[in-house]
Amino acid sequence: MSDWPSSYSVGLTPELTVVLPLIRDPATGFAFYSFNMMGKAAWCEKTAQELAARLTLGDPPEVFVTAEAKAIALTQELARNMRHDRYVILRKSRKSYMRDPVSFRGGSITSGEQEYWVEQADLDYLGGKRVALVDDVVSTGGTAKTFLKVAGLAQCRLEVFCCVLTEGTRWTEFEGLPVISLNHIPLPGVIGTTGHR
């Protein structure tokens, strides 16, 4: 049996606290608290306002980059808050409408290793700009490493990783870049064999 509670309460902003269910993969026993912003307009709006306020304390980023799909709505709200007319999304499959797409491999704790696609025009747009990388959660750093590959392709200036929550590790920096987050949640890991981690 696990001594991890079946849900975890976390404040996203001073006015917004959410309850996250504990999810366990029956095949591996790996468990995590599920944070899913998709379809939750109020979560995205309020957390974007909070993150935007922190991003404008120094030199604000000129463009946001995110990966499909959970942080797209958050990135849209961030772009709107900071009056950006464009942001870049890394796609998880090649779409027929893409022109001159570039592919590379990356991964995350939720998606595993996979191929990502980005249009050459988006890479050109990023070139030389101050870029903020956006995700809902920074956990093992898999998605963050994927973002670093894009920065190498685009020759942009990475300024910050921006997320709502850190998970497992209280990231304050990753690969030398600052991590801005609103709060932290634990990562139970494999339940029944290793306990807390």
Mean per-residue pLDDT for 165-191? 92
DSSP code at position 26: T
59 in a structural domain: yes
| 111-125, 140-154, 171-185, range with the lowest pLDDT | 140-154
Mean pLDDT, the chain, rounded, equals 87
3 in a structural domain: no
1 in a structural domain: no
Percentage of the residues of the chain whose pLDDT score is greater than 90: 58
Tokens representing 119 are: 């249009």
23 in a structural domain: no
**C-alpha to C-alpha distance for 156 and 186, rounded to whole angstroms:** 32
Q: Residue 197: what pLDDT?
A: 33
SS3 sequence of 78-98: HHHHCCCCCCEEEECCCCCCC
Helices (H), the chain: 41-55, 72-81, 120-126, 142-154
Instruction: Output the pTM of the full model.
Output: 0.86
17 in a structural domain: no
Q: How many domains does the chain have?
A: 1
194 in a structural domain: no
Percentage of the residues of the chain whose pLDDT score is greater than 70: 92
Asked whether the predicted pLDDT for residue 133 surpasses 90, the reply is yes
Mean per-residue pLDDT for 162-188? 94
- The residue length of the chain stands at 197
Vertex 48: Cα angle to 197 and 149 (nearest 5): 65
6 in a structural domain: no
Asked whether the predicted pLDDT for residue 194 surpasses 60, the reply is no
Asked whether the predicted pLDDT for residue 193 surpasses 80, the reply is no
Q: Provide the residue range defining the domain that includes 137.
A: 41-184
Mean per-residue pLDDT for 64-76? 93
Angle of helix 41-55 relative to helix 72-81, nearest 10 degrees, comes to: 50
Per the model's pLDDT, the better-predicted residue between 179 and 152 turns out to be: 179
- Taking a C-beta distance cutoff of 8 angstroms, is the pair 193, 167 a contact? no
- Whichever domain contains 61, its CATH number is 3.40.50.2020
**C-alpha to C-alpha distance for 173 and 176, rounded to whole angstroms:** 6
**C-alpha to C-alpha distance for 86 and 109, rounded to whole angstroms:** 27
Asked whether the predicted pLDDT for residue 30 surpasses 70, the reply is yes
Three-state SS for 134?
Answer: strand
Asked whether the predicted pLDDT for residue 33 surpasses 70, the reply is yes
Mean per-residue pLDDT for 26-46? 93
